[in-house]
Amino acid sequence: MPDFLEVLKTRRSIRQYKHRTIPKEIILEMLDLCRYAANAHNSQPFRFIVILNTDLKKRLINAMTARYELDLRRDGVSKTTIQKIITHSKTRFLKAPVLIVACLTMEDMDHYPDQERQRCEFIMGVQSVANTLQNLLLIAHARGFGACWYCAPLFAPDTVKEVLNLPSSYLPQAFITLGIPDETPPPITRKPLEDLIKILE
């Protein structure tokens, strides 16, 4: 296992994968570790849908890109540009050996009679899901795999739920693509720490 701080510093978003899948047992091991992420009230409001079936993945991505194309047309994007965007979008998901859909469920979260506190509780649930995804990205990198976080399901949640036949309480939040890296992205420039913090003494 690499040094943890080195894992934090060297993780990159991987979008190109070798044409080899990851054994299901290893995927489950990584998702098992995701459960240990900090989350609101220890309610564990995250749910993971692991798509290994190629036909199902195609149905999902085709349905989502059809919806995406409609949005682009409404935005006035040219047909040529739309075609490029849609082709690129389909390729990055369909070529990924493993596609994981991260969902939020509010079933075990606290419930309030007023809208403001309930909104805060919802945000806490979203943050909880995000924490587990950070775990997944780091675990994958530590194990020598590549992964990338996409928020595409947020733009077509009903489509995702319909194609995957998800429970009504599941709210799709993100895709994680997973596989054996076939690229080595360069280091990413980060903003200086002083631009990101304010110390009150």
Give per-residue pLDDT as tens, 67-101.
999 999 999 999 999 999 999 999 999 999 999 99
The pLDDT of 110-133, averaged and rounded, is: 98
Closest C-alpha to 145, from 94, 102, 183, 186: 183
Q: Give the tens place of pLDDT for each residue, 162-191.
A: 999 999 999 999 999 999 999 999 988 999
Which fold does the domain 4-195 belong to in CATH?
NADH Oxidase (3.40.109)
pTM of the model: 0.94
The pLDDT of 151-161, averaged and rounded, is: 97
Token pair for residue 70?
């409609």
Tell me the pLDDT of the chain averaged across its residues. Answer: 96
pLDDT value, residue 188: 87
Instruction: Give the integer Cα–Cα distance in Å for 135 and 131.
Output: 6
Amino acid occupying residue 188 = I
pLDDT value, residue 137: 98
Instruction: Give the integer Cα–Cα distance in Å for 28 and 25.
Output: 5
